[in-house]
Chains A and B, each alone.
Chain A
Amino acid sequence: MKARVFITLKSGVLDPQGKAIHHALEGLGFSGVNDVRAGKLIELDLADNTSDSEIEDMCRKLLANTVIENFRIEKLENA
């Protein structure tokens, strides 16, 4: 079983990298960009019997820093 963990900065947390990307897009002439937020995607290859709560535990204990980040888990059952 595979799972994807999307890690994003909480709203309200300043994202300097997103800002820099935004500037660079504008520099390239893309004018319609209102905002950019950068995050992380972590792909996990898991034993089939891994429970949802275990994946969530992985996120809380290591993959995300919940002081500043949110996470979302997407399971790819047939992968």
Chain B
Amino acid sequence: MKSAVIVFPGSNCDRDLAVALELITGRKPAMVWHKETELPEGTEFIGVPGGFSYGDYLRSGAMAARSPVMRAVKDAADRGVPVIGICNGFQVLTEAGMLPGALMRNAGLSFICRPVPLRVENSQSLFTAQYDAGERISFPVAHHDGNYQADEATLDRLEGEGRVAFRYLDQCNGSARDIAGILNDSGNVLGLMPHPERVVEPAHGGTDGRRLFEGLLETVA
């Protein structure tokens, strides 16, 4: 699988994601700087990593969402290329209008950094096919602005269309309906606050994230 990881000034999980992708797909992803206007020819998967792009200036993800490379990411997503936005990447995708809603300051105001239990709500997507519906898994979170909010109509639509991919089992940041990750309407864009790329080897303390990338590899390759 030919993958690309987008790198903004202030990204800091780009390397984690690249290491996980290389481990699982056997191929190093292309690291694509935010000023690029095109992705490498034949890119089959795009990762928008975590971090603090542009120092979280204005709003988390706001500046990154308007950077040149995001036009190419949007075009690729429109063509059906799978895109994952993890943590700051999720914030970037909502700011870019590729996913609905917004991520606000955690309700408890604290930066949260710990493994959290999650439930896989939709096991039919490109990203979650290797999990069982309702399965309980654990991914770490590390964020200050992970409080997912959208208007009631949008939340109802997400639930009704099976677009809530992951839900927190313990309320950790104030997110509406405990939403941890959502899909776009075509199902090829996933945004989530927890970090699957940080649980892919036993030394990480867990391997629950592995199947997300393995599932993608199987569908895409």
Contacts and interface: CB of A to CB of B under 8 A. Distances in A.
A13 B147 CA distance: 11
Contacts of B66: 61-62
Interface of A: 13-14, 16-17, 20, 61-63, 65, 67-68
B58 A68 contact: no
A11 B95 CA distance: 20
B174 A65 contact: no
Nearest to B61: A65
Interface stretch (B76-84, B102-110, B195-203): B102-110
A65 B109 contact: no
Interface residues of B, number: 20
Contacts of A62: 58, 62, 66
Given A65-B59, A65-B62, A65-B95, A13 B109 contact: no
B108 A65 contact: no
Contacts of A63: 58
Nearest to A12: B151
A36 to B, nearest CB: 13
Contacts of A14: 104, 107, 147, 149, 174
Contacts of B62: 62, 65
A74 to B, nearest CB: 19
A16 B59 contact: no
Given A14-B147, A67-B94, 17 more contacts: A13-B104, A13-B149, A16-B104, A16-B105, A16-B107, A16-B147, A61-B66, A62-B66, A63-B58, A65-B59, A67-B102, A67-B149, A67-B150, A67-B151, A68-B102, A68-B104, A68-B149
